């Protein structure tokens, strides 16, 4: 029973362009949504979060958008850099954290 879904397993973008990673969820009771970034052989690291009462949060090159009616959130990275190449996990929190299956982003120099 996957409560958080990332339907795109991989994404490739050119350096300098925008990367858009998508995530869908099923439980309207989630109160926070988060994005984590993971490099090989490392644990996930926190990137950015958004409260369920907001629709946008921005931190430098990273912006997360939340559409509660569609139960959808997205992460925008602009401009994309080669160092952004990693697996990105979407997560939602209530009493515990539920993670999506990840999207592998490759930024091509």
Partner 1 sequence: DTGVSQNPRHKITKRGQNVTFRCDPISEHNRLYWYRQTLGQGPEFLTYFQNEAQLEKSRLLSDRFSAERPKGSFSTLEIQRTEQGDSAMYLCASSGPGGATGELFFGEGSRLTVL
Residues that bind partner 1 (CB under 8 A): 4, 6, 9, 31-32, 34, 36, 41-46, 49, 51, 89, 91, 93, 95-102
Q: Which is nearer to partner 1, 15 or 46 (CB)?
A: 46
Q: Which is nearer to partner 1, 69 or 95 (CB)?
A: 95
> From residue 100, how far is each of 10, 16, 17 by CA, in Å?
13, 26, 24
Alpha carbons within 13 A on the beta-carbon side of 52: 15
> From residue 41, how far is each of 66, 86, 87 by CA, in Å?
30, 11, 12
Quote the least distance from Cβ 17 to partner 1, whole Å.
26
Q: Which is nearer to partner 1, 61 or 79 (CB)?
A: 61
Quote the least distance from Cβ 81 to partner 1, whole Å.
22
Quote the least distance from Cβ 44 to partner 1, whole Å.
5
Cis ω for the linkage preceding 79 (within 30 of 0): yes
């Amino acid at each position: 029973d996957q409560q958080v879904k990332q339907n795109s397993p991989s994404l490739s973008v050119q350096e300098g362009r925008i990367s858009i990673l998508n995530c869908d969820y099923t439980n309207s009771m989630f109160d926070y949504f988060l994005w984590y970034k993971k490099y090989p052989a490392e644990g996930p690291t926190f990137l950015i979060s958004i409260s369920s009462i907001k629709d946008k949060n921005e931190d430098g090159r990273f912006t997360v958008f939340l559409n509660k009616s569609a139960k959808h959130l997205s992460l925008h990275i602009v401009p994309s850099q080669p160092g952004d190449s990693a697996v990105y996990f979407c997560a939602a929190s209530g009493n515990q954290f539920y993670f999506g299956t990840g999207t592998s982003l490759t930024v091509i120099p």
